[in-house]
């Protein structure tokens, strides 16, 4: 059922840190409309609904029973994604599920099976790849314009205070998923990896605040990931969030630092406009997918492969070994 002006009616499961960015994205897209939200904490949910100018639902079931809601953005904590994706799909709603998509490969496969059975869209929130610079990089790689692929770097250095990091499972699960799906989108699956992690600036929580992964690609090229909540990079051409691809005949770069507003964001000391822009692009694309006008740039199969990289990194750290990902 359509909403007013044929805008896609979207509702949020969850109203945490990322919800203002999704609300802004829905508002900025001409063919989407935010109908309402449900949050586990009712008081916080009502406050966010008031901020966003939408309805606050008392229960997930009430949200899913609303015929104005055609699609659901699952923005809850990672451990509950499968529960709410399953509820939404079985209620006949299309789904955008934030990354990390699931706790395990089995969870993501279950989402994929339900989406196939119901015939409904279930799109992973792999927002970085909806940026024009990343799309252009892929086109250059696939067109052979960069020559033979040599190296891919996906770097993230943004300080997060301990009280914020305490809400997350650590940078491997929370951030390296971004690094993983970007690599998959640009260069395909790696064949092996080795990883390490450290906890450097937390006083109480045990989660790692920095992790690095080295990967070997199928063609022999190398890739490097870093994810860090430990410190900002204030040096020249800082690695705040950067994607760099180097080939024998050319190279590309995408960086948050090309668009910076000198005001605090939700958890960042500055506002990185590109991050907001990537979610706007993702939501706009999701609306097209829901209407059958486009296909996702990243699928649940890609989410499975990203999770395989994450679990491979965890295994490498635990065992001190290089992990073969092709078995």
- Report the domain count for the chain: 2
Q: What is the mean pLDDT of residues 108-137?
A: 98
Q: What is the mean pLDDT of residues 215-219?
A: 95
- What is the average pLDDT value for the chain, to the nearest integer? 95
Classify residue 109: in a domain, yes or no.
yes
How far, in Å, are 94, 105, 112, 311 from residue 116 at the CA level? 12, 16, 6, 25
Given a cut of 90, is residue 270 above it in pLDDT? Answer: no
pLDDT value of residue 327: 75
Which stretches within 146-212 are classed as H helix?
A: 162-165, 171-174, 176-187
Give tens-digit pLDDT for 62-93: 999 999 999 999 999 999 999 999 999 999 99
Domain of 144 in residue numbering reads as 129-280+307-324
Classify residue 297: in a domain, yes or no.
no
Task: Confirm if 238 and 157 have CB atoms less than 8 A apart.
Answer: yes
Rounded to whole angstroms, the Cα distance separating 290 from 93 reads 10
How far, in Å, are 24, 158, 204, 272 from residue 269 at the CA level? 19, 9, 22, 9
Judgement on whether residues 19 and 109 belong to the same structural domain of the protein: yes
The percentage of the chain sitting over the pLDDT mark of 70, rounded to a whole number, equals: 98
Q: In CATH, what number is assigned to the domain containing residue 145?
A: 3.30.360.10
Judgement on whether residues 264 and 221 belong to the same structural domain of the protein: yes
Classify residue 287: in a domain, yes or no.
no
Judgement on whether residues 143 and 228 belong to the same structural domain of the protein: yes
Rounded to whole angstroms, the Cα distance separating 264 from 61 reads 35
pTM of the predicted model, to two decimals? 0.95
Judgement on whether residues 136 and 152 belong to the same structural domain of the protein: yes
Judgement on whether residues 276 and 313 belong to the same structural domain of the protein: yes
Rounded to whole angstroms, the Cα distance separating 197 from 54 reads 41
- With CA atoms as reference, report the closest residue to 211 among 171, 184, 163: 171
Judgement on whether residues 73 and 183 belong to the same structural domain of the protein: no
Given a cut of 70, is residue 2 above it in pLDDT? Answer: no
Q: What is the mean pLDDT of residues 25-29?
A: 97
By the 10 Å C-beta count (0-12 exposed, 13-18 middle, 19+ buried), 109 is classed as: middle
| Total Cβ atoms within 10 A of residue 184 | 21
Classify residue 300: in a domain, yes or no.
no
Rounded to whole angstroms, the Cα distance separating 240 from 77 reads 24
Classify residue 57: in a domain, yes or no.
yes
Q: What is the mean pLDDT of residues 259-269?
A: 84
Given a cut of 80, is residue 182 above it in pLDDT? Answer: yes
Give tens-digit pLDDT for 134-181: 999 999 999 999 999 999 999 999 999 999 999 999 999 999 999 999
């Amino acid at each position: 059922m359509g909403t007013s002006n044929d805008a896609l009616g979207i509702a949020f499961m969850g109203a945490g840190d990322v919800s203002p960015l999704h609300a802004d994205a829905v508002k900025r897209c001409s063919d989407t409309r935010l109908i309402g939200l449900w949050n586990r904490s009712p008081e916080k949910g009502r406050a966010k609904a008031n901020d966003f100018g939408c309805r606050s639902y008392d229960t997930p079931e009430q949200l899913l029973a609303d015929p104005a809601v055609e699609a659901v953005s699952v923005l809850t904590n990672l451990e509950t994604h499968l529960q709410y994706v399953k509820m939404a799909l079985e209620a006949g709603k299309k789904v955008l599920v934030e990354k990390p998509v699931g706790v395990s490969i089995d969870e993501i496969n279950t989402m994929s099976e339900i989406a196939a059975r119901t015939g409904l869209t279930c799109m992973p929130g792999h927002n970085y790849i909806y940026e024009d610079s990343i799309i252009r990089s892929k086109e250059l790689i696939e067109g052979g314009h960069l020559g033979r692929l040599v190296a891919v770097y996906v770097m993230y250095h943004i300080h997060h205070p301990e009280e914020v990091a305490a809400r997350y499972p650590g940078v491997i699960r929370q951030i390296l998923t971004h690094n993983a799906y970007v690599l998959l989108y640009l260069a395909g699956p790696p064949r092996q990896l080795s990883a390490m992690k450290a906890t450097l600036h937390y006083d109480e929580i045990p989660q790692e605040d920095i992790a690095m992964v080295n990967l070997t690609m199928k063609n022999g090229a190398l890739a490097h990931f870093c994810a860090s909540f430990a410190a900002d990079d204030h040096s020249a051409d800082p690695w705040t969030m950067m994607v760099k691809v180097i080939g024998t005949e050319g190279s590309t770069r995408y960086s948050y630092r090309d668009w910076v507003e000198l005001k605090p964001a939700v958890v960042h000391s500055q506002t990185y406009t590109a991050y907001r822009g990537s979610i706007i692009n993702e939501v706009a694309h999701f609306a097209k997918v829901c209407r059958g006008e486009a296909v996702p740039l990243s699928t649940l199969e890609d989410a499975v492969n990203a999770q395989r990289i994450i679990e491979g990194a965890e295994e490498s750290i635990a065992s001190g070994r290089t992990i073969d990902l092709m078995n």
